[in-house]
Chain A
Amino acid sequence: MSQRIPIKELTDSFRGRAVGALADDQLRTNFRVAMDSLMKKRADAFPDEDEREGLRELGNHIKARALSRLPDLLEQLEAKLTDNGVKVHWAETTEEANRIVHSIIEAKKGAQVVKGKSMVSEEMEMNDYLAERNIECLESDMGEYIVQLDGEKPSHIIMPAIHKNRFQVSKLFHDKLGVEETEDVNELIQIGRRTLRQKFLEADVGVSGVNFAIAETGTLLLVENEGNGRMSTTAPPVHIAVTGIEKVVENLRDVVPLLSLLTRSALGQPITTYVNMISGPRKADELDGPEEVHLVLLDNGRSGAFADAQLRQTLNCIRCGACMNHCPVYTRVGGHTYGEVYPGPIGKIITPHMVGLHKVPDHPSASSLCGACGEVCPVKIPIPEMLQRLRQENVKSPAEQPKVKDGGAKYSRKERAIWRFWARLNTSPVFYRLFLWGATRLRKLAPKNVGPWTENHSAPVPARRSLHDLAKAHLNQGDR
């Protein structure tokens, strides 16, 4: 398959990376097997369709309500957290967020950071930023640890190393850690644990993400299954949480249904092994916990999506990953093909706001709009509708003032002209019938090579007579 298109121009595009991924049988098997299993787990976790649909509707309402008063809630969150002794920082860009994190570490003369899983920190490329400043930032989530060890990026927002199977992990550990190869998954996990244990105790700073930031109580809620999140947020003397501004919800009651939706949609779990609720640093009479807690609230383009009533729904996302688990495109090409931090359907609709459409021009069109993502989204983001809207913004001319960051990335006079012609054809009955007449009578002359279509299909040959002709003869209704 890879020989058929000029790879040279495509290597650095979605399509080019997809060609590479599709040719990797191991990768495709790893994804297909994993996604099939995750789809089944989700289905099993929601045995009652009415309950599931009711809960999704509720989740959607809670997020819509929270977003409708986002600025108020963020202020309330800041005030409450400050009361609780947490220092709140605001960052418009990832660069700013990194500077804030770095200055906190620097003030403590920290050299070692241990990190719980956080997609926002991936968005910031925090590891690289800190490494350039001689600060070691170690991933403590097993999946993140594996991809970090291999110099890779996560390929899934919940399961960062899902593109690897146990044999590949075994080889990686052997190569990088000098341990003996083993196919025993438990042993592989133990190897990781032993390495990480010491690091938790040595680290100067712990970094984590946030699943829900609760405005009413000033609480940061973090779910995880490995205990590394709790270690990262309690063992080091300083804890820095980083999160996107859309994670704020009104109160703890709102969290209950959202939490249920999150864990069941993600891994089919009724609840995660650990649910951490962090409302402040260690108090005077307490024996453990960090002495300092910081929260960095990152915008990074989210306010751009927020400004548009339709696209705002993108920010409903609670990062469960169900959309990618159910996506026929993601299942075949894997997360790295998307070339950015957030892969899959949610990546396609949120990344343009973060990095601009010029950087991800193919994101909106790399979908058959099958709707599997929207069907499973726990907070009912109409993902196909969002893709559709982004396609519109993507083909706008500069004069039409696209409403999304770097919109008009796919604006092409030639393509516009083709669609103008198509519209003319389909709005003029005479012209359209003439086209039918020509296509059916000259069917033998139909081109044998129809660009990309004939790479996967035989050349389409029009019928001998169109339905217009057949119906007219059959119904004897004449021209109307």
Chain B
Amino acid sequence: MSELFYDAAPNATRVAPERPKPRTYPAKPAEVTLFGTCVVDLFFPEAGLDAIRLLEREGIRVHFPQAQSCCGQPAWTSGYVNEAREVARAQLNLLDNGMPVVVPSGSCAGMFRQHYQEVFAEEPDTLERVESLAERTFELTEFLLHVCKVDWQDLGQPTQIALHTSCSARREMNTHLHARELLGKLSNVQRLDHDHESECCGFGGTFSVRMPEVSGAMVLDKTRSLRESGAAEMVTADGGCLLNINGSLEKQQQAFRGRHLASFLWERVSGEVTP
């Protein structure tokens, strides 16, 4: 890479280089695969089902391959490359059918879109398939907004909510902008800002157990600012953050809770109130 810059013009001007073009979106497909993610699978399965319902509502047939498991992120961020690659390969093989893949979790979608290229960096033969998966992967809110171009009627009562987005996902994929715009389509929902909104909730996968005191201080601050925002509840499209934030709130014996965005959205547009 360094060779690349060797001949860079020594007096390059201050003219901004071309910014990466915004992602171009395909027309709404007839069918998609849902990659549920391991955290949603085990702890928030209703949110996964609500994501399926939201997609079906747009006339899309949803496939859920039963052989799916985890995207490989926990091992990858812990430095266990071989283990991460094995698990990633299993998902890559499973999803290698050209169908769009919708993921109800920003950081897992980010794993497909950004990090599989690093995971398989030493396998040039695999990279083509990795690139194909990256192109076909959409985080749920992004898919609903830009591919389905949803037009919703809000059937819920007026409410105020706070939005939290996984920080890696917001930085890698602008998930916060997608979620905000989507929430903006709901006439009775008011989104309230909270203090240090863009700051990490302290989850970070294994960081939360390797550095529990630092992580604990972060989630304590995050839950406080969420509660003090005046919102009735928090919504997020990231399972890991939700597990972290709700687990902390419960430990603190606070009544305030977070909810997966898919469940919140389904409730608003279907009029069904989830128990």
Interface residues, chain A, with chain B CB atoms under 8 Å away: 1, 5, 14-15, 18-19, 22, 50-51, 53-55, 57-58, 61-62, 64-65, 67-69, 250-251, 253-254, 257, 309, 312, 328-329, 332-333, 362, 364-372, 374-375, 384-385, 388, 391-395, 410, 416, 419-420, 422-423, 425-427, 429, 432-433, 436, 439-440, 451-458, 460, 462-463, 465-472, 474-475, 477, 479-480
| Main secondary structure on B side of the interface with A | helix
Q: Taking CB as reference atom, which chain B residue is nearest A433?
A: B66
Contact check: which of A370, A436, A457, A467 meets B204 at CB < 8 Å?
A370
Contact check: which of B41, B69, B168, B211 meets A365 at CB < 8 Å?
B211
Output the least CB separation between B73 and chain A (Å): 10
Contact check: which of A328, A425, A452, A469 meets B209 at CB < 8 Å?
A452
Q: CA separation between A456 and B214, bound complex, in Å?
A: 10
Interface string of B59-83 (1 = CB under 8 A from A): 0001111110110101111111111
In the complex, B52 has a CB within 8 A of chain A: yes
Q: How many contacts between A and B, using CB within 8 angstroms?
A: 254
Contacting residues, chain A, for B200 (C-beta < 8 A): 328, 368, 370, 372
Q: Taking CB as reference atom, which chain B residue is nearest A459?
A: B247
B83 lies within 8 A of A419 (CB)? yes
State whether A429 and B214 are in contact (beta carbons under 8 Å apart), knowing that A254-B10, A440-B42, A462-B43 are contacts in the complex.
Answer: no
A-B contact pairs, 22 of them (CB 8 A): A15-B213, A22-B217, A50-B16, A54-B15, A57-B17, A61-B8, A68-B2, A257-B14, A368-B218, A370-B199, A372-B198, A427-B69, A429-B69, A453-B208, A453-B212, A463-B42, A466-B41, A467-B64, A468-B41, A470-B48, A474-B52, A480-B63
Q: Taking CB as reference atom, which chain A residue is nearest B207?
A: A368
Contacting residues, chain B, for A333 (C-beta < 8 A): 214
Contacting residues, chain B, for A367 (C-beta < 8 A): 204, 207
A391 lies within 8 A of B77 (CB)? yes
Contacting residues, chain A, for B46 (C-beta < 8 A): 463, 470
| Main secondary structure on A side of the interface with B | helix
Contacting residues, chain B, for A309 (C-beta < 8 A): 1-2
In the complex, B120 has a CB within 8 A of chain A: no
Contacting residues, chain A, for B72 (C-beta < 8 A): 426
A467 lies within 8 A of B10 (CB)? no
Output the least CB separation between A169 and chain B (Å): 26
Q: CA separation between A395 and B118, bound complex, in Å?
A: 18
Q: Taking CB as reference atom, which chain B residue is nearest A394?
A: B79
Output the least CB separation between A309 and chain B (Å): 6
Contacting residues, chain A, for B168 (C-beta < 8 A): 369-371, 384
Output the least CB separation between B42 and chain A (Å): 5
Output the least CB separation between B2 and chain A (Å): 4
Contact check: which of B5, B45, B62 meets A470 at CB < 8 Å?
B45
Contacting residues, chain B, for A328 (C-beta < 8 A): 199-200, 202, 218
Q: CA separation between A367 and B49, bound complex, in Å?
A: 32
- A368-B167, A388-B118 given; 6 more Cβ-contact pairs under 8 Å: A328-B200, A366-B210, A395-B80, A439-B42, A471-B36, A475-B62
Contacting residues, chain A, for B10 (C-beta < 8 A): 65, 250-251, 253-254
Contact check: which of B44, B64, B204 meets A471 at CB < 8 Å?
B64
In the complex, B234 has a CB within 8 A of chain A: no
In the complex, B156 has a CB within 8 A of chain A: no
Q: Taking CB as reference atom, which chain B residue is nearest A450?
A: B209
State whether A466 and B14 are in contact (beta carbons under 8 Å apart), knowing that A368-B202, A419-B75, A426-B87 are contacts in the complex.
Answer: no
Q: CA separation between A452 and B40, bound complex, in Å?
A: 22
State whether A472 and B64 are in contact (beta carbons under 8 Å apart), knowing that A395-B80, A462-B42 are contacts in the complex.
Answer: yes
Q: CA separation between A49 and B66, bound complex, in Å?
A: 45
Q: CA separation between A15 and B64, bound complex, in Å?
A: 42
B3 lies within 8 A of A68 (CB)? yes
Interface residues, chain B, with chain A CB atoms under 8 Å away: 1-6, 8, 10-12, 14-17, 19, 34, 36, 38, 40-46, 48-49, 52, 62-67, 69-70, 72, 74-84, 86-87, 89-90, 118, 167-168, 171-172, 198-200, 202-220, 243-244, 247-248, 250-251
Q: CA separation between A328 and B220, bound complex, in Å?
A: 12
State whether A419 and B63 are in contact (beta carbons under 8 Å apart), knowing that A329-B214, A368-B200, A467-B40 are contacts in the complex.
Answer: no
B78 lies within 8 A of A391 (CB)? yes
Contacting residues, chain B, for A68 (C-beta < 8 A): 2-3, 5-6
B208 lies within 8 A of A467 (CB)? no
Contact check: which of B17, B69, B217, B220 meets A426 at CB < 8 Å?
B69
Output the least CB separation between A373 and chain B (Å): 11
Contacting residues, chain A, for B75 (C-beta < 8 A): 419, 422-423
Contact check: which of A61, A392, A472 meets B66 at CB < 8 Å?
A472
Output the least CB separation between B139 and chain A (Å): 16
A471 lies within 8 A of B34 (CB)? yes
Contact check: which of B43, B210, B212 meets A460 at CB < 8 Å?
B43
Contacting residues, chain A, for B210 (C-beta < 8 A): 362, 365-366, 452
State whether A391 and B79 are in contact (beta carbons under 8 Å apart), knowing that A455-B216, A467-B45, A468-B66 are contacts in the complex.
Answer: yes
Contacting residues, chain A, for B211 (C-beta < 8 A): 14-15, 18, 329, 362, 365-366
State whether A436 and B67 are in contact (beta carbons under 8 Å apart), knowing that A251-B10, A309-B1, A456-B248 are contacts in the complex.
Answer: no
